[in-house]
Structure 1
């Protein structure tokens, strides 16, 4: 539900703009507000679950997400919608780290791998199927109600989830209350805001050079202050927002790098492919969504299998997945200029191959990244993994989209050339992730 709302809204943006009479800069914040709040809330949300009760934080997150989804659907002005999207992002940021925390605490050995496999399946399918579901809802509801259905679809899911979570999620034993590190939360949250702000703002009319990159320098200084504060807080014997000892866990650091780089390439693929099909070839949102269905099928299948095999093959499974995605994307880059007719259908085998590879990356990487992390810090560790993935997604989308639209302008509307040009960047992100995966594979082989 939280990941669907990252991609499902993109398809509905034209009808949102028309229905609410919003300009490009305002409507962009419907996307940006959610991404900012989601990314900022992940680590504090994970820490809150570690320090208090994961079950309680999860329930509050679902309630907040469901209510804000209703507010999004009922919005009468663009800024009402943007404000509701910020609250929705906060709810999503509370929910997501609790999932990895629950899995880390409740499962061991092969069972943990299978649980993360189902989690990875959900991530892959949700991200890939978003454009299809969004296109279907816009088609069913039309310009007036289609975009509202995109948000209202969360209501029955959220209500059912509250009932099921209240019944089935275990109550954690209440121990001594831990510090929530409010100063650390403010410093880290502000730094993430400043990193994400120049990445998520601006659309097709905003080039990379026009964005306020100086904010990243301020964010770097804040992160230095944050580290110094965390060390001081630790010296006082208090629990910190982030366990700085995680940087000494090599498997975690390398897994963090793999996840960040993979999501930088993974997320942008769907956006540029949708733009190529819709704006370049005249596909409807529904047709463009169906064209990406093979990726979702492949990802769902291999993520479930990967969760069962990760204990046996370890990091080699992730390396195989990254290599497969690379081969598939290179194939798409090579064949697109030579295709005509039903291009979406002809790309299906390569998208299926990319999905099969992608499913072997997401959940096994989470399992391997957290396998040496203390379960008591699973929420914060998982939250940082998710934050890195969101930042990676924002970086990838910002760079790839800017290059895509600049290429469209410079080639007088050659969308096939723009797709190929921007695909080079997504392939580079995946290759860098592959290098980090190989480094961890070699390190583990030496230890064995």
Structure 2
């Protein structure tokens, strides 16, 4: 067991590799499933609701427990909770790979998301322990690069594994491959990660988590039931969502006023760039997750492509996203401010519409679709790479950690919402108006991206000139 202050450079680098492995596990498992959904649906005879929950369940449980995961590390130790999260994630992956029904797979995916939410915050906390501030900047840049590559690798790896069909396991390999990787992270983490915890843990707000969790479920569950049709239960759940959100808001405001641990500080939303950044985060994450789900499913269902081809066609999108984040956002945001987000959102709207129309309605050839995918990724990267710096530009240092955690939570909730919305329209569309489902799904995705553009246009002209 390594102790802080006794680590050599070699041990620090091995610890960093351990944390990177965990980050890759988390990101890949969010994107790898899209490629496998048609195969999973066919194997289980699963309906639209189960298919959506296989993807959305992971993002939802991750989002609801993410802030609690960070505070567990503060209270019980970052290394201990990291190992607990990795072990739970590995076992949940095994449960996914061994699932006998769609319901069992959904339950295992919920467990994956929950344990991922315990694992993920410890990685950033341990970065604080392992490296000094200047080293940390370089290592975090490496995290960003690896995260971008992992998001591209997920669908490609999924396609390769399904196409290989090793030992006749088919889609199950996309989950079972996590077992050796998780075991490696456990052994490495035990030997190389320092044993540290916060000297002043913030505490928990379990009632706040329960209220907001119930509100989100009340909103998402009816949306995934669109294909089956809404009855009294679905309308009742939807009607309860708004009051539960209001109760949750009052609860956290009261906890903050009483100087007790709260899920978040409502005062953060009084800061205009942060409030608009939260709105952009939710809308963008919903649009992006909805696009990736529709893209992967439509390629196989509407164009008859194999999982391998579907995975490979994610590469130009991922390449464009990396260029958008690393080049466009970083170089143009300081000069042009909010207009980089506006332009990125507009470009992604037009290009994503062309991609989805090109798959089904127009049946465009690959030489035409690939540049459109690259442009979609460029727009996505220019928008997504700017959301975090813009949102926290006027947030004081004392609230920087809480603001970042809240933004990441909003992104995961947005992803679950986008899968529910776009997935419901896609599966319930049934060639309405003579148009394929991919075209129908874009009505939702395009609206969400339009909201991103509208919210971004409301940002102040000068964002980076004031801090609280």
Residue 426 to residue 235, structure 1, CA distance change in 2 (3 Å): closer
Q: How does 1:164-243 map to 2 (within 5 A)?
A: 174-199=198-223, 201-202=224-225, 205-206=227-228, 212-243=234-265
Q: Is the 8 A contact 1:121 1:359 kept in 2?
A: no
2 CA distance for matches of 1:164 and 1:434? 44
Note the alpha carbon deviations across 1:360-405, whole angstroms, 9 max, x for none. Answer: 2223312332344455555543332223222322333333233334
Question: For residue 329 of structure 1, what is the aligned residue in structure 2?
Answer: 352
Note the alpha carbon deviations across 1:298-328, whole angstroms, 9 max, x for none. Answer: 1123323357437734544433322332342
- Please state whether the residue corresponding to 2:418 is helix, strand or coil: helix
Q: How does 1:66-215 map to 2 (within 5 A)?
A: 66-98=90-122, 125-141=149-165, 144-162=168-186, 174-199=198-223, 201-202=224-225, 205-206=227-228, 212-215=234-237
Structure 1 alignment gaps of length 5 or more: none
Q: How does 1:2-41 map to 2 (within 5 A)?
A: 2-17=26-41, 19=43, 29-41=53-65
What is the aligned counterpart of 2:342 among 319, 329, 336?
Answer: 319
1 CA distance for matches of 2:222 and 2:252? 26
2 CA distance for matches of 1:54 and 1:437? 36
Note the alpha carbon deviations across 1:284-303, whole angstroms, 9 max, x for none. Answer: 12112222221011112332
Residue 43 to residue 306, structure 1, CA distance change in 2 (3 Å): farther
CA RMSD of aligned residues (A): 3.7
Of 312-321 and 385-394, deviating more is 312-321
1 CA distance for matches of 2:101 and 2:358? 44
Question: For residue 10 of structure 2, what is the aligned residue in structure 1?
Answer: none
Question: For residue 17 of structure 2, what is the aligned residue in structure 1?
Answer: none
Of 254-263 and 219-228, deviating more is 219-228
Question: For residue 263 of structure 1, what is the aligned residue in structure 2?
Answer: 285
Q: TM-score, normalised by structure 2?
A: 0.79
Structure 2 alignment gaps of length 5 or more: 1-24
Of 155-164 and 246-255, deviating more is 155-164
Question: For residue 441 of structure 2, what is the aligned residue in structure 1?
Answer: 422
Q: Is the 8 A contact 1:116 1:367 kept in 2?
A: no
Q: 1:78: Cα distance to partner?
A: 4.4
2 CA distance for matches of 1:107 and 1:373? 23
1 CA distance for matches of 2:344 and 2:56? 30
Q: Is the 8 A contact 1:97 1:379 kept in 2?
A: no
Q: 1:242: Cα distance to partner?
A: 1.0
Question: For residue 352 of structure 1, what is the aligned residue in structure 2?
Answer: 374
1 CA distance for matches of 2:218 and 2:281? 21
Q: Is the 8 A contact 1:291 1:345 kept in 2?
A: no
- Please state whether the residue corresponding to 1:212 is helix, strand or coil: helix
Q: 1:150: Cα distance to partner?
A: 0.7
Of 137-146 and 116-125, deviating more is 116-125
- Please state whether the residue corresponding to 1:444 is helix, strand or coil: coil
